[in-house]
Structures are given as structure tokens and as C-alpha cells.
A = this chain, B = another copy of it.
Amino acid sequence: MVTLAEVARHAGVSASTVSYVLSGKRSISAGTRERVERSIQELGYHPNAGARALASSKSNVIALMMPLRTDMYVPVMMEIAVAVATTARGHGYDVLLLTREEGPAAVRRVTGSGLADAMILMDVELDDDRLPLLREAPQPAVLIGLPADTAGLTCVDLDFVATGALCVEHLAGLGHRDIAVIGEAPAVYERHTGFAERTLEGLRAKARELDVRLLHRPCEVGYGPTATTLARIFDERPGTTGFVVQNESAVEPLLGLLRLRGRAVPEDVSVVAVCSDQVALQASVRLTSVSLPAEEMGRRAVARIVAKLEGHGADAVELLTPKLTVRASSGPAPD
């Protein structure tokens, strides 16, 4: 391995000069700079990450804590991760992958060891067990999601309350009076995942306001469970004409099942999904949907982290405004 010292010797300057060329923290004459840069090229020098971290107490790494569950739609998580990794790289940071399952221990490890300069946490629960540690950690953190108590935290999330309201508003506006919600898996509610509960809250509040009947049913991932859930819904409320699908993986099964029951979309039944645009466009019916801006959330989270690391940027809760796009799966309620 080539070291700074070797580059310095090769270029005929001192080690500190090479360091300053690299960091740009002091002015270096054009001539010297060029000489040093040429030496770096010729020797194929790469600064040693460990040494750098030790000397500067900065690792240039951002930790990303990600859920590795399969009861929530994976591609969205993936898309966020992609955006985080790509954006972080653009700012000169690498990304350390932590599993949500490791819980607070991982937070302690990272904050204690200086492995990373900052953390981004996903899959936030309302009363998340990682929050206490986070609040007193020396490193900044950003949550993608919204816990119950956001004091002293920075969060980025879609406004899921507004999202729920938007869905009901759209369907009610089309004349639907009986709306069913195909929700997330029961386990998602049991652990009080913020986005699931908030969406429900928004749905219910708006339904009450517009005097629409709302039936919410959790739904496991898979065709079979979707079929069961749908059967129960039509059993309890045969007059249901509007569906809100919160669980992306239920979208295609639902459409297939409706076809099987002879219910045309959108003539007999309207469907609104909360999902990524990709899913909405690739489904068998082009879906009216509120899009899940996964990529944007990842980007914003990194932007906030970087701002904090650079000294500007205070704690804040940033809720993205949901946008509903009307496509081919929703229309006026039948008489």
C-alpha cells in the first residue's frame, strides 16, 4: 500500500503539503499541486480510511438502518436505500448497512465506535426503542418515518394522515359511500409502525367528516390472504364500491380477484392505491394512486444529514405533501 509519506517523497515535498493538496484546506501553489497530483497518479495512491478517520475523527460514512422484513413491500425500502446510497456517494459518503433487527444495539455500536458520522433510520415505530439512544448520541440522525414524539429529532416522511384523507376524498367525491381499506399485515399494526397507523387515522377522520362508511381490514401478503380479506369485506359490506389499497403487494391479486367476481374496474368498483408510481403503472389496470416518493425521501434524508454534518441545518420534521394521480382504476360510483 502506498502511503502519504511515499507520495511526499516522490513529489519532493513534505507529508503535510500532500495532505493539504488533498483536502484543499490551505492554499498550495499551482506548481506544487501539480507535482503532487502527478505523484499521486503515478503511484496509485489512496488515502487509508482508518488513518483518516482516526486523525480527523470523521469516517465519511453514513449508517443506514433498514428493515429486512418481508411483511412490507420490499421494493419501496430498496428504492429508498438506492436513493440514500447514491445521494450519499454524491456527497462523498459511503453507506454502512445495518439491519433494523439489530435494534438499539446497532445504534450503540455505531455511535460508540465512530464507525459512522451519522445515521439514517427506517421503519420507525411510534414508540421506537432506538430513539432514546439517538437523542443523546453525538452524531446527527435522520428518521425516515415519524415517531409519536419528535422532540429533538429530525424526520422526513410522507404525510400519511393527509394521504389517507386524500384517498377518501377522491372516492367520496366520485360518489362512493362505502369504502373498504385493504391494510398492511396485522404484525405491522401490532408493532405500531408509524405510517400504517397515520394513514388509517387520515382515512378515518376524512370518512367521518364526509360521512362515508369505512371498513378497514389488515391483510397478509399473498394471493390467498387477499382473497380471504376481500371475501370478508364483501360479506360484511356487500355495497362496497370503493377500495383503498395500502399494501402494495395486494394490488395485483385484488385486481385479479375483482375480475374473477365479475366486478369491472372502474365501472363497478373503484380502486385507489398508495404505492410507487412504478407499481401503479405496471399493474393490469393503470392505477389511480397516491405515490410513495421513496426516492425523494431517501434523497432528502441524506440532504438533511449532510447539512447537519456541515454545521447548518437544525432539527425539523419534514412532511412531504401527498399527490394523488387519477388513472384508470377509479370513476363515478354506480347508482
Residues in B whose Cβ lies below 8 Å from that of A278:
70
Whether B50 contacts A114 by the Cβ 8 Å rule is: yes
Which residues of A are interface residues toward B (Cβ below 8 A)?
Answer: 1, 44-54, 57, 59, 61, 64, 68, 70, 74-75, 77-79, 81-82, 85-86, 89, 94-99, 101-102, 108-109, 112-115, 138, 221-224, 252-253, 255-256, 259-260, 278, 281-284
A95 CB contacts on chain B under 8 angstroms = 96-97
Q: What are the residues of chain B within 8 A of A114 when measuring CB–CB?
A: 1, 48-50
> Given the complex, which residues of B lie within 8 Å of A224, measured CB to CB?
282
A49 x B44 contact (CB < 8 A): no
Q: How far is B112's CA from A283's CA once the two chains are assembled, in angstroms? A: 45
The 3 closest A-B pairs by CB, nearest first: A46-B112, A50-B53, A222-B282
The answer to whether A252 and B223 touch (CB under 8 A), given A70-B75, A96-B96, is yes
The one of B81, B99, B260 that contacts A89, using a Cβ cutoff of 8 Å: B99
Whether B222 lies near A281 (C-beta < 8 A) is: yes
**Partner of A82 from B61, B68, B94 at Cβ < 8 Å:** B68
**Cβ contact within 8 Å between A49 and B252:** no
Q: Which residues of chain B are near A283, meaning CB under 8 Å?
A: 223
What chain B residues lie within 8 Å of A284 (beta carbons)?
223, 253, 256
Residue contacts A-B, CB under 8 angstroms, 20 given: A1-B112, A45-B112, A46-B108, A48-B54, A48-B114, A49-B114, A50-B51, A50-B54, A70-B75, A70-B79, A74-B74, A74-B78, A81-B97, A82-B99, A86-B99, A86-B101, A224-B282, A252-B252, A252-B256, A255-B256
Smallest CB separation, A260 vs chain B (Å): 7
B68 and A78: CB pair below 8 A?
yes
Instruction: Give the CA-CA distance A117 to B273 in the complex, in Å.
Output: 44
Contacts of A57 in B (CB 8 A): 50
CA distance A74 to B253 in the complex (A): 19
Complex Cα gap A278–B70 (Å): 10
Q: How far is the CB of A109 from chain B (nearest CB, A)?
A: 7
Decide yes or no: A46 and B282 within 8 Å by CB, A82-B68, A95-B96, A95-B97 being known contacts: no
Question: How distant is A328 from chain B, measured CB to nearest CB, in Å?
Answer: 12
| Alpha-carbon gap, A70 to B282, bound state (A) | 12
CA distance A86 to B68 in the complex (A): 10
Query: A1-B114, A75-B75 provided; 11 other pairs, C-beta below 8 A?
Result: A1-B138, A46-B112, A49-B50, A51-B54, A74-B78, A85-B97, A86-B101, A94-B115, A222-B281, A222-B282, A224-B282
| Cβ contacts under 8 Å, A108 to chain B | 46
Q: A48 to chain B: which residues have CB within 8 Å?
A: 54, 113-114
Chain B neighbourhood of A79, CB < 8 A: 70
> Which residues of the other chain, B, contact A45 by a CB distance below 8 angstroms?
112
